[in-house]
């Protein structure tokens, strides 16, 4: 059994996983992730690494959908994760 990570530790995990995958989290994205991680319920079924991985996967999926609707002029936008890429469902439910 592992203790639950703090919100800051979970944000660090998401940020590092994002960087390893070639993405960058904007400062406002990190702030929004902190709020999400502070609000997520941590019952006995909560998984630190699973939560971080699922959050990042959902963000990447939403970012792809957001970018598909834009005319991208700056290729750096392709790797930038923004607060709107954090799924509302995750923000509300912590799931």
Cβ count near 60 (within 10 Å):
16
Q: For residue 86, what are the contacts with CB-CB under 8 A and spacing of at least 6?
A: 29, 32, 33, 36, 55, 58, 59, 62
Q: What is the pLDDT along the chain (95 residues), one digit of tens a residue?
A: 668 899 999 999 999 999 999 999 999 999 999 999 998 888 888 888 899 999 999 999 999 988 888 776 766 678 899 999 998 644 444 44
* Residue 88 located in a structural domain: yes
**Would 1 be classed as within a structural domain?**
no
Return the CATH number at 83. Answer: 1.10.8.60
Q: What is the pLDDT of residue 47?
A: 85
Bridge partners of residue 24, in order along the sequence: 80
pLDDT at 4: 86
Angle between helices 7-20 and 48-68 (to 10 degrees): 50
The domain of 58 spans 7-93
């Amino acid at each position: 059994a592992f203790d639950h990570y703090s919100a800051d530790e979970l944000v660090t995990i998401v940020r590092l996983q994002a960087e390893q995958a070639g993405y960058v989290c904007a400062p406002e994205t990190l702030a929004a992730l902190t709020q999400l991680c502070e609000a997520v319920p941590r019952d006995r079924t909560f998984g630190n690494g699973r939560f971080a991985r699922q959050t990042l996967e959902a963000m990447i999926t939403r970012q792809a959908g957001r970018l598909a609707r834009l005319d991208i002029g700056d290729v750096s936008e392709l790797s930038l994760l923004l607060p709107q890429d954090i799924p509302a469902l995750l923000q509300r439910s912590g799931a």
